[in-house]
């Protein structure tokens, strides 16, 4: 009875969230249709995604910014070298670029370090606000008209960055940008710095409006994604409650605490039929620990069990709530990714691969690395009922076998249709 009541509550919650998505599709404002508690949860979710993206793409950002600096500084030198105020203008140009680079580093630092994460949102607001003011004053103070025009492009970029990539709420960023612009214009006027106030003001207003519009659109999409993720979480809970009534403890692997082969067979049947009904892709991952027998022989079975448990835990943490993982047997695992294309499946497989690689579990008897590695086989079922479940499994197994043939420690994708023709 308790399970039934909980199931009813979860189904009602799911229905309410599906209505929210329907409102999205009708074009209603996302913020007005989210209850306050859910809205607050969404912003926590969005900030976490922002921090994650900041960490993930910091390297690419550094490379891009470095290339920009290497291109802009020589051209600035050529443009203003004959200027009467060359030294001061060029120094301001260098200093402004340094400040932008420092802002990017601070943004990454508050994303990366655990003791700073609690202040991420406040730090983002402060960094964007301060950077806009300081860079504006530096670059608009130069005597060169060319550098002033360049400055306005850079400032427009900072505004867009603040709206789109910082995780700051659109209205908060709008206020920050407006106050920062007002302060800059006021200081330019007070200190009698020569510039075209009309053009500068139009740049600020245009950047804020463009950034605000882009931010609202992106946030609306993020809200929709968030709601779908909540639905997926509810689906998982419903599935777990239903399974608890039907399945026994024997259907779970005692060592890894994930599903076992028997449960996989049942879940694969469910996802296979669902894919046939909806014609949505179902991706299949076969995962094997490389040279695991050598590991057991060298380190012992107790250590081997620890590795299997850690691998299972890492794989599970690398997939979505709606995905399914099972221990297929020995050192082999399977992952089912409903509603996931070949590109998405390969991305998930790659994430799992690197997550295992980052564990750096020593493996002296491996022939491919000094630490534990995995091989992954990937295939995708597109809902064609003429293709049997056995064919799907065989194809994924074939992909895993091919990954091993090519030297292990890699991901190999095997198209299902091509493989099916050869069976």
Active site residues: 331
Nearest residue to 287 via CA among 372, 384, 390: 372
Q: How far apart are the first and last CA of the chain?
A: 48
Other residues' Cβ atoms within 10 Å of the Cβ of residue 191: 9
Kindly provide the b/e burial profile for residues 259-288, where b requires at least 16 CB atoms within 10 angstroms of the residue's own CB.
Answer: bbeebbeebbeebbeebbeeeebbbbbbbb
> Based on the number of CB atoms within 10 Å of its own CB, is 23 exposed (0-12), middle (13-18) or buried (19 or more)?
middle
Dihedrals phi, psi of 378, to nearest 5 degrees: -130, 140
Angstrom distance (rounded) from CA 238 to CA 226: 18
Angstrom distance (rounded) from CA 16 to CA 231: 10
**Is residue 403 within 8 Å of residue 375, measured between CB atoms?**
yes
Q: What is the DSSP string of 28-52?
A: --HHHHS-HHHHHHHHHHHHHHHHH
What stretches of 113-250 show up as alpha helix (H) in DSSP?
114-117, 120-140, 145-164, 170-190, 197-246
Q: Strand 324-329 vs strand 332-338: parallel, antiparallel, or unpaired?
A: antiparallel
Q: How are strands ordered across the β-sheet holding 411-413?
A: 324-329, 332-338, 282-289, 374-381, 411-413
């Amino acid at each position: 009875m308790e399970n039934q009541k909980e199931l009813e509550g979860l189904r009602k919650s799911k229905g309410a969230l599906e209505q929210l998505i329907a409102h999205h599709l009708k074009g209603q404002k996302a913020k007005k249709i989210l209850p306050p508690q859910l809205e607050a949860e969404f912003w926590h979710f969005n900030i976490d995604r922002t921090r994650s993206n900041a960490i993930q793409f910091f390297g690419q950002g550094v490379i891009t910014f470095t290339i920009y600096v290497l291109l802009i500084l020589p051209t600035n030198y050529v443009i203003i070298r004959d200027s009467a105020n060359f030294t001061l203008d060029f120094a301001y140009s260098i200093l402004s670029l340094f400040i932008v680079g420092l802002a990017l580093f601070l943004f990454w630092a508050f994303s990366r370090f655990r003791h700073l994460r609690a202040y991420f949102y406040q730090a983002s607001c402060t960094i964007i606000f301060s950077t806009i003011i300081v860079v504006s004053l530096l670059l608009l103070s130069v005597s060169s008209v060319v550098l002033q025009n360049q400055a306005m492009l850079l400032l427009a970029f900072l505004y867009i960055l603040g709206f789109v990539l910082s995780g700051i709420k659109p209205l908060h960023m709008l206020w920050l940008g407006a106050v920062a612009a007002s302060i800059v214009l006021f200081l330019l006027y007070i200190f009698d710095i020569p510039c075209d106030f009309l053009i500068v003001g139009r740049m600020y207003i245009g950047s804020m409006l463009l950034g605000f519009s882009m931010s609202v659109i992106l946030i609306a999409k993020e809200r929709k994604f968030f709601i779908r993720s909540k639905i997926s979480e509810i689906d998982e809970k419903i599935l777990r409650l239903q399974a608890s009534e039907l399945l026994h403890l024997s259907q779970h692997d005692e060592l890894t605490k994930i599903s076992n082969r028997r449960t996989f067979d049942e879940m694969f049947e469910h996802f296979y039929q669902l894919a046939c009904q909806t014609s949505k892709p179902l991706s299949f991952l076969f995962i094997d620990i490389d040279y695991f027998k050598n590991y057991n022989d060298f380190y012992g079975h107790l250590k081997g069990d620890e590795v299997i448990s850690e691998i299972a835990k890492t794989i599970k943490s690398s997939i979505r709530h709606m995905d399914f993982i099972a221990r297929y047997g020995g050192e082999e695992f399977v992952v089912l990714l409903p509603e996931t294309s070949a590109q998405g499946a390969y991305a998930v497989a790659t994430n799992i691969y690197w997550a295992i690689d980052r564990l750096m579990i020593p493996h002296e008897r491996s022939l491919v690395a000094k630490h534990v590695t995995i091989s992954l086989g990937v295939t995708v079922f597109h809902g064609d009922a003429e293709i049997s479940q056995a064919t799907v499994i065989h194809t994924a197994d074939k992909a895993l076998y091919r990954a091993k043939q090519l030297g292990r420690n890699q991901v190999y994708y095997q198209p299902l249709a091509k493989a099916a023709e050869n069976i």
